[in-house]
Amino acid sequence: MNAIVICESIYGNTRAVAEAIAEGLGDARVASPAELSPDATEADLLVVGGPTHVHSMASARTRRAAVQAAREGSTATAATADPALRDWLAELTPSHHAYAAAFDTRLDRPEWLTGAASHGIAKRLRRHGYKVLDTSSFLVAAGEGPLVDGELERARRWGADLAATLPATVAS
């Protein structure tokens, strides 16, 4: 199986989850939107994730806020460089046979309070013809993290479950 995990990560939590998912999938490739062209995704399984900002996917405004926070001494990473995941998904090459899954990181609060970026990601993947197998949220204790205890192991299991969900013709 050829799987790629694409993630946008501001503080490193989403990237850590993406790497754990990739391990669960069997050491899939992990890349940021800046590292992979939207037309270079000839994977059997595309797993896409990002942080939840203001109930949805990160936007230009929320990314700028993260960059500003980095200047003020937070732990924001260089992953705030363009293209944003939202832009990358807008340019994604349509697929009529590939499978996908979506994930996000969000505060450890009820989803009705925080929202979940994975829903918007899955919607955009479906618009491009991907068969979305599942969505999941992984929890952070505070805005910049850390991840809640056990979330990386849960991400590994989710990756393994995704791999097991694929039809036998794709998984081999």
From the list 65, 76, 61, the residue with the least C-alpha distance to 14 is 76
Number of domains in the chain: 1
Q: Among 34-43, 112-121, 134-143, which is the least confidently predicted range?
A: 34-43
Give CA separation, 42 vs 45, 46, 143, 154, in Å: 9, 9, 34, 27
Using the CB atoms, write b or e for 20-55: b if 16+ within 10 Å: bbbbbbeebebbbbeebebeebebbbbbbbbbbbee
Per the structure, the complete domain to which residue 53 belongs is given by 3-171
> Does the pLDDT of residue 74 top 70, yes or no?
no
Span 41-61, mean pLDDT? 85
Note the pLDDT tens digit of each residue in 25-47: 998 999 999 888 877 667 889 99
Of the given ranges (81-85, 145-149, 151-155, 165-169), which has the lowest mean pLDDT? 81-85
pLDDT surpassing 80 at residue 172? no
The rounded distance, in Å, linking the Cα atoms of 135 and 161 is 12
Categorize the per-residue pLDDT at 53 as very low, low, confident or very high, splitting at 50, 70 and 90: confident
C-beta separation of 21 from 156 below 8 A: yes
CATH number, position 90: 3.40.50.360
Q: Which residue has the higher pLDDT, 23 or 142?
A: 23
**Amino acid occupying residue 47:** V
| Mean pLDDT along residues 123-135 | 96
| pLDDT in the model for residue 72 | 61
Pairing between β-strand 45-53 and β-strand 56-57 as defined by DSSP bridges: antiparallel
Average pLDDT (120-124) is 97
**pLDDT at residue 25, as a whole number:** 97
Residue 55: band (very low, low, confident or very high) from pLDDT cuts 50, 70, 90: confident
